[in-house]
Chains A and B, each alone.
Chain A
Amino acid sequence: MNPPSPAKRITLRADHIAGAFFVAAGLAVIALSGDLPTGQLSMPGAGFLPEIVAVLIIVLGASLFLRAHESPAFASIAWDDGPHAGKVILVTAAAIVLYVKLGFIVTMVLMLMTLLTVIERKNVPRALLYSVAVAGGIYVIFVYVLRSPLPTGILGHW
């Protein structure tokens, strides 16, 4: 028996990854559903539908995995927007951490400034003016026009 030629080597496809992820997710749901009673068909319990859906996820995930040859190669997926997305995620996560502590205005001015100057390389005075005007304007609209309170944080109520 001849060893497989390099051309016949299995290429890792996008749906190999996606299918494996869904199979793992379905198995994780079943593992986490341990305490939930499935009940009987005549009286289904809290775990009844989650288990059916988890099995469906596993079956569909496996089907995706098995038909992965129809999907593009994993290496062909363009991740060139990844660094930008990563930075935006980090800045957004920091804003969420600070949102209640520092309040809406301070957090949003900081977030807008960081996105505009660090990621978008915009002119600093213009970015500052834009950030303060936008955050202040939205605060006024929400609090005074829509009467929907926003966190004030370190600035206190005013």
Chain B
Amino acid sequence: MEDTLLSLAHGFGIAFQPGNLWYAFIGCLVGTLVGVLPGIGPLSGISILLPVTFGLNATEAVIMLAGIYYGSQYGGSTTSILMRIPGEASSVMTCIDGNAMAKKGRAGAALCIAAVGSFTAGTFGILMLTLIAPPLAAIALKFGPPEYTALLIMGLIFLAYMSSTSLVRTLLMACLGLMLGMIGIDNMTGHFRYSFDFAELGDGIGIVPVAVGLFGLGEILATPSHKVRGEVITPKYRELLPTRAEWRAAYWPIARGSVLGFVIGIIPGSAHIISSFLSYALERRISKNPEEFGKGAVAGVAGPESANNSASTGAFVPMLSLGIPTGPITAVLIGALMIHGVPAGPQLVTEHRDLFWGFVASMYVGNLMLLLLNLPLVGLFVSVLRIPYGYLYPLIIMFCIVGVYEVNHSIVDVWIMLIMGMLGYALRKFDFDPAPLVLGLVIAPIFEQSLRQSLIMSNGNYLIFFNRPFSAALMAICIVLLGLSALAYFLKRKDWRAKLAAAEAGEPGA
């Protein structure tokens, strides 16, 4: 514990360096804008701005990119409350009661509760990250290839189980991602795989063109400008502070959302989205006045907003300590670290202490910055919301092209981005979530290498995954999850995921 506190103090020394403070601020500001603007989410925002970090050192880069991620969770609430359009997928639930509060003249109070809830939950999440990540990394150092293989299989199955679309759809997307991740030279034998004589494909398909295509361009293709309309409710500054009764109604939902969000954040899947849905459902269920939900209940804003922020911090635990992405955003952040020559995982905590602790400390600072940034600058964000989407999306396409090209100065990457954009558009039409595809792409090299090494170690015996205690435990969890899914399918019972999907679709009684 003492060692953790000393390391954290050292981290604050790094986080307070002027350069790091500046990039944390830029990340938080850009992240808030990314969250505010409909049609551009944190994943495309981070991917597009990844090349901007090439001139920075690894610590500055990861501080800025992470700032975009957790900043977008703050910003998403502004659009939800003032326009009833989720600026970001995890803010869908905030639309319901946040906008209802705004219509009752309590827009300022809703924004303040969302910001304070986000700050509290974000800080709680970082505190837990500080305490959990280092010991987890120490355990992970003892992992061999079988444990890593089992961990990655469990990650994929957890992702499929947690997904609000079906298990089959999620696994299909993950498999497609794994397939794309195997394009290029095989690291163990040097064989070229599926590169069709394109020299650029020898190094494989990068995560940036895929992520920007699927989530940036794909979103634009599926969103014609005439469909993006919305009236912005302008909050009055003197109404920015909630009343005493509103504060009282927000305390416990913020506390519950913080804990729930962090726990879900550690588990693979689109944690920040799922956590806000579950928090909303939980608050409605335990409320003494459930009939107020949908009509401007404070708990309907405080709970989900806290949960999605805590979840976005929780997602950093497996990313930093195990090197395992829990979702596409942490996958891109791992890619960013790799571009800067820093491996994510236990070595990050032990061998790159400055980066790890500087990053953790910067998140405390970034959360405070976001609280100070979001409330006084709400007028600025409202004016950003008034920019017509017809002017905005051509700008985003320009950033997509520049962002992807700048990574390797490769026009082939930009073509891949366009193809992925078309694929993303088609996947949306057929109700597939492209997030597991990105996850599959990122874990493909680690998964393949650890699987093949495990088989070589055991002379081809698959039982190696069941003979070692830790991998056996992970495989047992996989079997239980698959069993639960099969049970729900054969009993034709609506499990919690089906109910979540129904709630997402706005079906009554869900």
Interface residue A106 (Cβ < 8 Å from any Cβ of B):
no
Bitwise, A31-59 to B at CB < 8 A (1) or not (0) is 01100110011111111111001101100
A135 x B452 contact (CB < 8 A): no
Q: How far is the CA of A151 from the CA of B390 in the complex (A)?
A: 26
A36 → chain B closest CB, angstroms: 6
Interface residue A146 (Cβ < 8 Å from any Cβ of B):
yes
A40 / chain B contacts, CB cutoff of 8 Å:
460
Interface residue B421 (Cβ < 8 Å from any Cβ of A):
yes
A115 x B415 contact (CB < 8 A): no
Residue of A with least CB distance to B459:
A42
B178 x A64 contact (CB < 8 A): no
B434 → chain A closest CB, angstroms: 13
Q: Number of A residues whose C-beta is below 8 Å from B?
A: 63
A112 / chain B contacts, CB cutoff of 8 Å:
394-395, 398
Q: How far is the CA of A115 from the CA of B430 in the complex (A)?
A: 27
B455 x A49 contact (CB < 8 A): no
Q: How far is the CA of A46 from the CA of B329 in the complex (A)?
A: 29
Given A104-B402, A130-B391, A138-B398, A96 contacting B179 (CB threshold 8 A): no
A96 / chain B contacts, CB cutoff of 8 Å:
401, 411, 414-415, 418
A57 x B452 contact (CB < 8 A): no
A142 / chain B contacts, CB cutoff of 8 Å:
402, 406
Of A53, A61, A100, the residue contacting B179 (CB under 8 A) is A53
Within 8 A of B (CB), among A144-158: 146-148, 150-151
Of A44, A60, A122, the residue contacting B455 (CB under 8 A) is A44
Of A17, A46, A108, A148, the residue contacting B188 (CB under 8 A) is A46
A18 / chain B contacts, CB cutoff of 8 Å:
430, 432
Interface residue B52 (Cβ < 8 Å from any Cβ of A):
yes
B418 x A92 contact (CB < 8 A): yes
Given A99-B401, A142-B402, A148-B51, A14 contacting B175 (CB threshold 8 A): no
Interface residue A63 (Cβ < 8 Å from any Cβ of B):
yes
Within 8 A of B (CB), among A98-126: 99-100, 104, 108, 111-112, 115-116, 120, 122
Bitwise, B480-493 to A at CB < 8 A (1) or not (0) is 00000000000000
Most buried by B among A37, A115, A142: A115
A53 x B178 contact (CB < 8 A): yes
Within 8 A of A (CB), among B392-418: 393-395, 397-399, 401-402, 405-406, 411, 414-415, 418
Of A60, A122, A134, the residue contacting B168 (CB under 8 A) is A60
Q: How far is the CA of A84 from the CA of B222 in the complex (A)?
A: 9
A111 x B397 contact (CB < 8 A): yes
Residue of B with least CB distance to A130:
B391
B52 / chain A contacts, CB cutoff of 8 Å:
146, 148
A49 → chain B closest CB, angstroms: 5
Q: How far is the CA of A88 from the CA of B397 in the complex (A)?
A: 9
Bitwise, B295-317 to A at CB < 8 A (1) or not (0) is 00000000000000000000000
Bitwise, A58-79 to B at CB < 8 A (1) or not (0) is 0011011001000100000101
Given A36-B193, A96-B401, A99-B401, A14 contacting B460 (CB threshold 8 A): no
Interface residue A29 (Cβ < 8 Å from any Cβ of B):
yes
A6 → chain B closest CB, angstroms: 27
Given A57-B176, A64-B168, A96-B415, A45 contacting B189 (CB threshold 8 A): yes
B189 x A50 contact (CB < 8 A): no
Interface residue B466 (Cβ < 8 Å from any Cβ of A):
no
A53 / chain B contacts, CB cutoff of 8 Å:
175, 178-179, 182
Interface residue A12 (Cβ < 8 Å from any Cβ of B):
no
B172 / chain A contacts, CB cutoff of 8 Å:
22, 57, 60-61, 64
A152 → chain B closest CB, angstroms: 13
Q: How far is the CA of A132 from the CA of B401 in the complex (A)?
A: 17
Residue of A with least CB distance to B190:
A46
Q: How far is the CA of A46 from the CA of B192 in the complex (A)?
A: 9
B398 x A37 contact (CB < 8 A): no
Q: How far is the CA of A86 from the CA of B121 in the complex (A)?
A: 42
A79 x B418 contact (CB < 8 A): no
Known: A60-B175, A93-B418, A112-B395. 13 other contacts (CB 8 A): A41-B462, A44-B455, A46-B188, A48-B452, A77-B429, A88-B397, A96-B401, A99-B405, A99-B411, A99-B414, A111-B398, A146-B55, A151-B405
What would be 12 A-B contacts, judged by CB atoms less than 8 Å apart? A46-B193, A47-B191, A49-B182, A85-B221, A85-B425, A96-B414, A99-B401, A100-B411, A115-B397, A120-B225, A142-B402, A148-B51
* 10 cross-chain pairs, A with B, having the tightest CB-CB distances, nearest first: A41-B460, A42-B460, A46-B191, A46-B186, A85-B221, A84-B224, A115-B394, A120-B390, A44-B452, A81-B224
